[in-house]
Chains A and B, each alone.
Chain A
Amino acid sequence: MIRAVVHLELSGLERFRHEVSKPQGPIRDALRQWGHRYRTFVQRRFVKYSRGGGDWPPLKYKRRRGSRARAAILRDTGTLFRALDPVWRSNPGAIQQDLPFGIRVGYGGPHRHPKAGISIADLAAIHDQGLGRMPKRQIIVQPDNRTRAQMVSDMQRALKKLADGV
């Protein structure tokens, strides 16, 4: 009988797996940079769409006061907008959570909207999904190609750093 015994040297892979799952280090930095990239993208999109440059339905009723007659869509108090600030500042209604090899960003938390009387996250969900009588105005969407390319670049740089032992 011929028997082949193959030994796989996986200590490098194990070390890599350990590094990737660490709460600090280049991979975590890159994932947080992803969060920043994503919020930059959705906030920039928010600006464009709230000015009528996307597929958000226009406001149904014009507001009464002068300058507000041209109010931007979903920008009444600026709360939904500010929750998407690119730099993480724990703004009301914003979340950023580290996940295993990932990051969760968007709306969340218990903060109440100053006018709606419900939580900011719930209000965002109502607009985002068009719940009740609200028209659908999607805020949380897939990142565009440019943002994805930047994310790929961030992770490539982080992996190289990890490989270099920085």
Chain B
Amino acid sequence: MNPFQAVYDALWDLVLTSTELATLVKEGNRIRFDKTARNPLKHALQVGDVPELILLPLGSQSANLSASSCTTHFHRQYQFILATGDLRLAEGLDTVSWNLLCAFANWRAVLGPLTWNEKRFVQGFDITAITDGLRDSENNKNLNGWSSLLTVSVFMQFRTQDLIGDL
């Protein structure tokens, strides 16, 4: 598993360390792109399909290949897309968002121990943006409800020599 795959997997672990979130967002409603399904997206949501949580890799703000004489820094962004399909704040948006925030606070325990080439590489984790919206047809599909986009940034640091050695 390369570091990007490990981080993607660990971000789901991070979310699911919250037993509340693991209960709220059913397994079938966790849309992840690292499984065998070629297209895990659902094109129409039923009431049982929400809350739905999607995790997307968003790309990078910066990749500094010369951060120092021997290290490479990489900030990779990921976005959690939450579709609640529910207009009630307490039952939908606020509950899931709050539990996501609590889960993210645990990042050092989940992302921190990730290793590549026997070295820890995750140096930081931040929430960079949270945007809530109502009647977001793209994310909520055919259901009315609150949706939320949570963008997080994972700061990774590698030994440049290890990267070259992986060629």
Contacts and interface: CB of A to CB of B under 8 A. Distances in A.
Interface of A: 24, 29, 32-33, 36, 86-88, 149-150, 153-154, 157, 166
B22 A29 contact: no
B28 interface: no
Interface of B: 9, 13, 16-17, 19, 22, 106, 108-110, 112-113, 115
Contacts of A154: 17
Given A153-B22, A157-B16, A157-B22, A32 B113 contact: yes
B109 A86 contact: yes
Label chain B's interface by main secondary structure: helix
Contact of B110 (A33, A150, A153): A33
Contacts of A88: 109
Nearest to B23: A153
A63 B149 CA distance: 51
B87 to A, nearest CB: 30
Contacts of A36: 106, 109
A86 B22 CA distance: 21
Contacts of B19: 149-150, 153
25 contacts: A24-B115, A29-B13, A29-B113, A32-B109, A32-B113, A33-B109, A33-B110, A36-B106, A36-B109, A86-B109, A87-B108, A87-B109, A87-B112, A88-B109, A149-B19, A150-B17, A150-B19, A153-B16, A153-B19, A153-B22, A154-B17, A157-B13, A157-B16, A157-B22, A166-B9
A87 B13 CA distance: 16
Nearest to B22: A153
Given A33-B109, A150-B17, 7 more contacts: A24-B115, A29-B113, A33-B17, A33-B110, A87-B108, A154-B17, A166-B9
Contacts of A150: 17, 19
Nearest to A153: B19
A51 B109 CA distance: 27
Nearest to B110: A33
A33 to B, nearest CB: 7
Contacts of B17: 33, 150, 154
Contacts of B108: 87
Nearest to A150: B19
Contacts of A157: 13, 16, 22
B139 to A, nearest CB: 26
A39 B13 CA distance: 19
Contacts of B115: 24
Contacts of B9: 166
A87 B108 CA distance: 7
A36 B108 CA distance: 10
Contacts of B113: 29, 32
Closest 4 CB pairs of A and B: A36-B109, A87-B108, A153-B19, A150-B19
A156 B88 CA distance: 31
A7 B1 CA distance: 36
